[in-house]
Structure 1
Amino acid sequence: MRYTDGPGTRCETHIDAAPQTVWKLVADIGTPARTSPELQRVEWLDGADAPALGARFAGHNRNPVIGEWRTVSEIAELDTERVFCWAVLDTEGRFGEPARTADDALATWRFDLEPAGDGTLLRHSVRLGPGPSGLSRAIERMPEKEEELLAGRLAQLHAGMEATLEGIKELAEGTVTGVL
């Protein structure tokens, strides 16, 4: 496995709620911050206040190994009640030439929803790269550990994604107090 291959991970869960209910949670950029171990908070940028193609938002992250950092993401694909996808950009050029479009993103995240019986199948995925990131810089410093570094980071991301899906499931199914 190599960073230049665009490695990623995905997970899914069945939710006993209609796609409309799940969509409200998925399309709310604040939902993952409620359930993710890494994403701490988000905020819309440039006057945006709702999902739209090209709308940008900032994410504030914390990881016990990596530390704290801020990202800027742009909504790259949006299909109501079906797909919510955003690309993480390096708008400040922290890792080289600034990544200002989804074509040179540090990572691309997405939720895919599919009606499934009386509920919804929700998939969550991430693809790393193709743009340079903190992870690609670590690989440059330790190329002999590339597979180990990738596997470790993908495992962290996968665990966080599972926690996010579980939180969305609990919120959508009403098993958490104060829901919708």
Structure 2
Amino acid sequence: MMYADLPTARATVDVNATPEVVWSLVSDIHLMVKLSDELLEVTWLDGAGEPGVGKKFRGRSFHDALGEWESTSTVIEFKPNSAFTWEVNAGQDVRSSSVWGFSLEPRPAGTELSQWGQMGPGRSGLNHAIDRLPHKEEKIVANRLREFQAGLESNLRLIKELAEGAR
């Protein structure tokens, strides 16, 4: 798969907790710092008001192969107890370098929680590696997609534990 194909990782878990309990976790951007191996810090840029569509937050991240970077994210979907999606702009490109989201579906025994992350369409730190080694683009993208997948699965496992402990 090539970067231009908008590679996307997705994970889903059933949580034995109400959508309201799960929502309180996934809509807390500060919790993501505790869950992620890459995200070091996150700050709302729009004050301490209620999050919503159009609101922005800044993240500071680190990856061994990519170094440290800052990005600004804009919330593009915010439906309490249902969906939280944001696009990341990590540089001067006006297109998002990635898009991330959570979706929640009520189930008889609780909530089906999904998280997904899409690379592109705008440039990201990954493109620097691809620019240097264009003949290895598919391998570079596949490796990063595996990291995305592992991160999503870890996030959901921890959110499930927190939500079910909060019942």
When normalised by structure 2's length, the TM-score is 0.94
Q: Secondary structure at the match of 1:30?
A: helix
| Residue 150 (structure 1) aligns with | 141
The residue type equivalent to 2:19 in the other structure is P
- RMSD over aligned Cα, in angstroms? 1.5
Per mean C-alpha deviation after superposition, the further-off stretch among 44-53 and 56-65 is: 44-53
Deviation string, structure 1 residues 100-147 (Cα, Å, up to 9, x no partner):
xxxx10000000100121211100001111111111232122111011
Task: Give the paired residue count.
Answer: 167
Q: Distance in 2 between matches of 1:5 and 1:30?
A: 30
The equivalent residue for 1:126 is 117
The unaligned stretches of length 5 or more in structure 2 are none
Structure 1 distance, partners of 2:127, 2:61, is 18
Q: 1:137: which partner in 2?
A: 128
Aligned twin of 2:82: 82
1:39 and 2:39 equivalent? yes
**1:68-119 deviations in whole A, cap 9, x for unaligned?**
21111000111111110000013x52xxxx32xxxx1000000010012121
State the 1:48 CA deviation.
4.9
Work out whether 1:59 is the aligned partner of 2:59.
yes
Distance 2:153 2:73 in 1: 21
In the other structure, the counterpart of 2:159 is 168
TM-score normalised over the length of structure 1: 0.87
Distance 1:65 1:140 in 2: 14
| Distance in 2 of aligned mates of 1:172 and 1:123 | 14
Q: Which AA in structure 2 matches 1:157?
A: F
Tell me the secondary structure at the aligned position of residue 54 of structure 1: coil
Contact 2:66–2:125 (8 Å) recurs in 1: no
Alpha carbons 1:31, 1:168 under 8 Å: kept: no
Residue 105 of structure 1 aligns with which residue? 96
| 8 Å Cα contact 2:66/2:126 also seen in 1 | no
**In 2, Cα distance between the equivalents of 1:115 and 1:28?**
19
Deviation, structure 1 residue 155 = 0.8
Residue pair 1:48, 1:56 contacting (<8 A) in 2 also: no
Q: Which residue of 2 aligns with 1:22?
A: 22
Question: CA offset at residue 61 of structure 1?
Answer: 1.1
